[in-house]
Amino acid sequence: MKIGIFGTGIVGQTIAEKVADLGHEVMIGTRNVEALLAKSNPDSYGRPPFKEWLNARSGIQVATLDETAASCTLLINAMHGMGTIQALGSIDPSHLSGKILLDIANPLDFSQGFPPTLAICNTDSLGEQIQRTFPELKVVKSLNTMNANLMVHPRAIDGDQTVFLSGNDSAAKETVKSLLNSFGWKEREMIDLGDISTARGTEQLLPIWVRIYAGKGTSLFNFRIVFG
């Protein structure tokens, strides 16, 4: 499968590495390819500049957002949540038509520092806004309640854990489930919450997630739902 990833930060890079290792064709989409490749400083996590990372992975391509959408079958949104709608709006709608978008972004607002607040909550969600604005997409919200490493290496911590899915299209969710399974997620760990409006619940887990992270000093944890 040809997979397009929107977002060039640590989340996009981590997912790109994994799907490339699984044998998929991978293209990373960005707004300005030239500006991205011109960066020479490490990122905020101390990772090498994107160009160095890309040069070490010959099987991964980089292109504009529009070129990525046009070329790929499955799209993954790993961009900053509050920039997502504007970024997707720069893409020719015909290049989004019928495509699955796995949305892993969260509407975090860091304008007042840490911890962030949610810019969208309660009666709406980023997942819903994407689906409403781009009805030609089949949006599936998932993987947004954990760190990037656990998204693609769930066995990095012991025991079962939980990954949620929300979306209006059942077939699209099955495609995403298959991808999650290839990452190492077990079927019993996947909870399908229902339509895209249920993304409100998973996005609103982020306030407690950031407080656990701040209090424990590690992001290597996840939620587990236990039924009685």
Given pLDDT bands bounded at 50, 70 and 90, which one contains residue 92?
A: very high
In 3D space, the residue among 206, 224, 205, 219 whose CA is nearest the CA of residue 159 turns out to be 224
Give dist(CA 102, CA 169) in Å, integer. 12
Instruction: Return the structure tokens found at 115.
Output: 């911890």
One-letter identity of residue 135: P
Instruction: Return the structure tokens found at 111.
Output: 């304008």
Q: Does the pTM of the predicted model rise above 0.85?
A: yes
Q: Are strands 138-142 and 163-167 parallel, antiparallel or unpaired?
A: antiparallel
pLDDT digits (tens, 9 = 90+) for 151-189: 999 999 999 999 999 999 999 999 999 999 999 999 999
Give dist(CA 137, CA 172) in Å, integer. 10
pLDDT of 87 reads: 97
Give dist(CA 183, CA 186) in Å, integer. 9
pLDDT of 172 reads: 98
pLDDT of 6 reads: 98
pLDDT of 47 reads: 82
| Domains of the chain (ranges, CATH numbers) | 2-216 (3.40.50.720)
**45 pLDDT above the threshold of 80:** no
pLDDT of 209 reads: 97
pLDDT digits (tens, 9 = 90+) for 46-63: 888 999 999 999 889 999
